[in-house]
Amino acid sequence: MKKYLPLLMAPLGILEGAVMYSRGIPDHRLLEKSDLLTHFTEKLPPEPPSELVHLPSGEEEKARPVPDSAQSPEDLRRKWEEEVDKVKLVCGEMAYQVVEKNMTLSSQDAMLEEQLGRLSALDARVRDLEETRQWLAEQVAGQQDRIMEGKEAYDTLWAHTGHQEGALRQLEEEGRELVERLIQVKMQAAEDQNYRNERIERVKQARLSKELKKAMRRTVNISETLDPPSIVEPPAHKQELLEVETCEKRWKRPFRSASATSMTLARCMDVMKGLLDFRKRRGHSVSGTPEARYTSIPVCGVSCLPARAQDIQEAHCSEVNAVCFSSNSSLLATGGADRLIRLWNVVGGRLEADQMLEGAGGSVTSLEFEPSGCYLLAATYNKAAQLWKVGESQSKETLSGHTDKVTAAKFKLTRQQAVTGSRDRTVKEWDLNKVSCSRTIDGVSYCNDVVCGDHLIISGHNDQKIRFWDSRVPRCIQVIPVEGRVTSLSISSDQLHLLSCSRDDALKVIDLRANNIRQVFRADGFKCGSDWTKAVFSPDKNFALAGSADGGLYIWNLDSGKLETSLYGPHSVSINAVAWCCAGTHVVSVDQGKKAVLWS
């Protein structure tokens, strides 16, 4: 067995050489191992081994027994050389496999090192992310604490707000009650003042009646017709003698002379004529004081039809709802949803900004100048009407008493009186001297516009009806139904015709003498754009003017009943209101796009 030990160790040496080669050992070491293997092979004894030898090959081979018969050394040598060649071949293959495995192992080691590098980088990234997570967790915890604190503060503020809202509602109710009480007090004061005035007038009337009765019973001599200063008063003792003589003459002459009677009747007729004139001035009310009326405004003979836009101005910061001219046709007022009223001068076919009026608490819905041109009245959405004096920037008076938006405010023909209409379904008459409501009319429906005649108040309503009220009668005297919600009313300068605009896209002319609809104007393309679209008569009452929802200006001829012309250009949105100056030379239109356009 010891003899064959070097032979068995040779493959191991070859394997070791392969391993050393795979590990980077030089090639001459492998050659030395091969020479050593050859040397040991040459020194092998001729006798074959009697034991089984296990050879390392790709598959385990079974050990073959050594034959017992004697063989020659050459045969044994040849066999062993063949065996050695086979062993060398197997060892070479195994060495090649070992090299491949080592190369694979080296690549796996490189991949492992790369993976370990990536793993270390990922570990560092994980540590960074963990630190970030901890920091974010701390931030979240802090935010949650702040959120909880904010929620507690919000709950506290909510509770406080609830208490404040309750207190506000209570204060509003108290304010409404105070306003109602103030209105009642003002109304009571007005009634008391009216009662005192009536009482004074009754006393004066009673005194006058008493004087008339005394005059009727009194005997008047011809001498009484002479002027009192021409009569020389006699001395006191002569005065007594004259009185005695007069008494004696009365007893002697029981009947009046014809001349005396005629003089007495003439004086009574003069007094009665004065009373009748007084009643006529008072509007058939003997107990009142004479009403001061505005002087009539001169009206132009012929109105000029507008043909082109001369000036375009961005009048307000939001849509413009109202526009009107003063009686002198040179001053223009516009009001809009920005709670401002602007005055403009019409100079040389252009609009020049003159003044800005402040103090309106809400959107301005209606404007009208006093016939004298000294005051301007505006209806606003803050449940009140404002009165300005032209030339002053601050409001002079506030007419408060409505409980909803005021949609119209107009002056009456008698001085210091006005009328307002509101969405609280009422129409109110106002005494501007006392700044108090003198009468409240239940309008049944939302009131969108009002106009005033001699003793007539006309209101247009949301229930598609036009109602007529007399200032001397407590109830409605006439109702005219139309086919749409009434948006505006305009009365002619001669107080004989009324122009209405309604949401059925039609204008109607009403004859106030017969209280019936005389004409209906429609046109292709004309559409009423809102519940406050305004239409007006021309100053000479020959034309009707209105703005459409498509930005067009439509003019109808009252004589022919047909559309006279339609103008387009500056307006690209719905026109809210129009105004025709008293001189008949200019027209102004305002729209929902902040514009005011001067036409001529």
Cα separation of 465 and 444, whole Å? 10
Question: Who has greater pLDDT, 75 or 299?
Answer: 75
Q: What is the pLDDT of residue 261?
A: 37
Q: How confident is the model at residue 599 (pLDDT cuts 50, 70, 90)?
A: very high
pLDDT of residue 300: 63
What pLDDT, on the 0 to 100 scale, is given for residue 551? 93
pLDDT at 291 (0 to 100): 61
Neighbouring CB atoms inside 10 A of 94's CB total 17
Confidence of residue 299 (pLDDT cuts 50, 70, 90): low
CATH code of the domain made up of 309-599: 2.130.10.10
pLDDT of 124 reads 92
Give the list of residues 6+ apart from residue 424 with CB closer than 8 angstroms, or none: 383, 402, 403, 404
Tens-place pLDDT, residues 68-116: 456 688 888 888 888 888 888 888 888 888 888 888 888 988 889 999 9
DSSP lists the bridge partners of residue 486 as: 502
pLDDT, tens only, 464-504: 999 999 888 878 999 999 999 999 999 998 889 999 999 99
Q: How many CA atoms lie within 13 A of 33 on its CB side?
A: 22
Element spanning 597, H or E: strand 595-599
Whether 39 shows a pLDDT value over 90: the answer reads no
Mean pLDDT, range 117-133, rounded to an integer:
92
- In 3D space, the residue among 58, 62, 61, 63 whose CA is nearest the CA of residue 4 turns out to be 63
Q: What band does 330 get if pLDDT is binned at 50, 70 and 90?
A: confident
Mean pLDDT over the full length of the chain: 79
> Tokens 């006279």 belong to which residue?
564
The reported pLDDT for the residue numbered 32 is: 61
The pLDDT, as a whole number, for residue 218 is 62
Higher pLDDT, 308 or 9: 308
Name the helix (H) or strand (E) containing 20.
helix 5-22
